[in-house]
């Protein structure tokens, strides 16, 4: 099975909620602009509760990626500074192009 990043799942979930709320509001007779605004507000409120798991998973992936970048940056800075023993990368990533696809 293909692993999808949490950011993609969360984004598609937000879009899906917006479309579902808009479809429900479409049956009501009111201005189209008002329908779009209400769908945006209601879908944002629903996503806060319904998509909490995916949002937390996405935040964790982003924190892990930031930590990997910080560690690699420190390693490169120490190597450029000419240290005899630069600190090795503790978590070498075998596929740096797609770090989230391995989860």
pLDDT in tens, 69-99: 999 999 999 888 887 655 556 566 655 565 5
The pLDDT score that the predictor gives to residue 82 is 81
Residue 75, C-beta contacts closer than 8 angstroms, at least 6 positions apart: 86, 87, 88, 89
Q: Write the pLDDT tens digit of every residue in 2-35.
A: 888 999 999 999 999 999 999 999 999 999 999 9
Query: Can you give the pLDDT at residue 55?
Result: 94
- pLDDT for 13: 95
Domain ranges for the chain: 6-81
pLDDT recorded at residue 90:
59
Question: Contact at 8 Å (CB) between 22 and 42?
Answer: no
Cα 37 to Cα 9, 25, 59, 63, distances in angstroms: 23, 11, 27, 32
CA dist., res. 99 & res. 73, Å (int): 16
């Amino acid at each position: 099975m293909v692993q999808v990043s949490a950011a993609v799942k969360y984004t598609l979930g937000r879009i899906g909620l917006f479309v579902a709320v808009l479809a429900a509001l479409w049956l009501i007779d009111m201005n189209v602009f008002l329908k779009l605004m209400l769908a945006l507000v209601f879908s944002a409120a629903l996503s806060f509760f319904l998509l909490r798991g995916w949002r937390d998973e996405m935040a964790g992936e982003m924190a892990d990626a930031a930590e990997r970048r910080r560690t690699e940056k420190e390693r490169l800075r120490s190597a450029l500074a000419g240290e005899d023993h630069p600190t090795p990368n503790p978590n070498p990533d075998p596929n740096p192009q797609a770090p989230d696809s391995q989860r």
